Amino acid sequence: GDGKPFISHPVAVAKMLAAAKMPEKVVAAGLLHDVLEDTPTRPAELVRRFGKQVASLVREVTEPDKRHSWEYRKRSYLRHLKKASRGALAISCADKLHNTASLLAAYRKVGPAVFDRFSRGVDRKVEYHREVCEAVRAAWPRCPFLSPLDRLLGRLEEVSREQIGREPREVEAKFLVMDPAIFRKLGKLKELGSFSLESRSLERQENRYLDTR
């Protein structure tokens, strides 16, 4: 949303890592940190071209496949950070630092419309970035990117509160259906529109508003 080509993001992350005197392989992995998520590149190719350590670091900061829901992918990523290496923690923190800086720059340029491209509201986006920040802090309190990330997240949280204050209030309801018979009955109800309803496994998703009258 800031008008810059996507490649500027991994380049910026790698520059941040280099400026913080991180090892060369961590800088290389920072430059490559999105390739498994956003390109057809396979882990074996990373091993062949850049070595096992770089490939391992990239895998550490790669979310589950986008077939899964946003919530599942983010929860899995946060769980993984608890046991990630310091190199991976640095990459993750630098990634979120540049994402937050880019988002604020886009907000200053185009205003609240920048948030329309997110599948979740800006408040959830900020909450997730804060959760990553705290996960890194718990695992590595002296990570050099924590302080600037804290500062930018504080500003983004202010923007989020301002934005939420301007928007109509909505109520989100989530229901967990464990009984297969009830789930089948729900599937027969009249559909009124679309929304996201997740099963516990997150492998099966229904997308319906249901008339329960």
Question: How many CB atoms are closer than 10 A to CB 32?
Answer: 23
Q: In the Cβ-directed half-sphere of 193, how many Cα atoms lie within 13 Å?
A: 1
Predicted pLDDT of residue 116:
76
Active-site residue flag, 38: yes
Exactly one of 2, 24, 34, 38 is catalytic; name it. Answer: 38
Active-site residue flag, 131: no
Exactly one of 37, 123, 131, 157 is catalytic; name it. Answer: 37
147-183 pLDDT tens trace: 999 999 999 999 888 876 665 544 455 566 667 777 6
Rounded Cα gap, residues 31 and 14, in angstroms: 5
Q: Where are the beta strands (DSSP E) in the chain?
A: 190-193, 197-198, 205-206, 209-211
**What integer best gives the mean pLDDT of the chain?**
83
pLDDT tops 70 at residue 73: yes
DSSP string, 27-91: HHHHHTTTHHHHSS--HHHHHHHH-HHHHHHHHHTPPPPTTS-HHHHHHHHHHHHTT--HHHHHH
Amino acid at 126: V
131-143 pLDDT tens trace: 999 999 999 999 9
pTM of the shown model: 0.76
- 204 pLDDT band, cuts 50/70/90, is very low
Of 198 and 4, the structure prediction assigns the larger pLDDT to 4
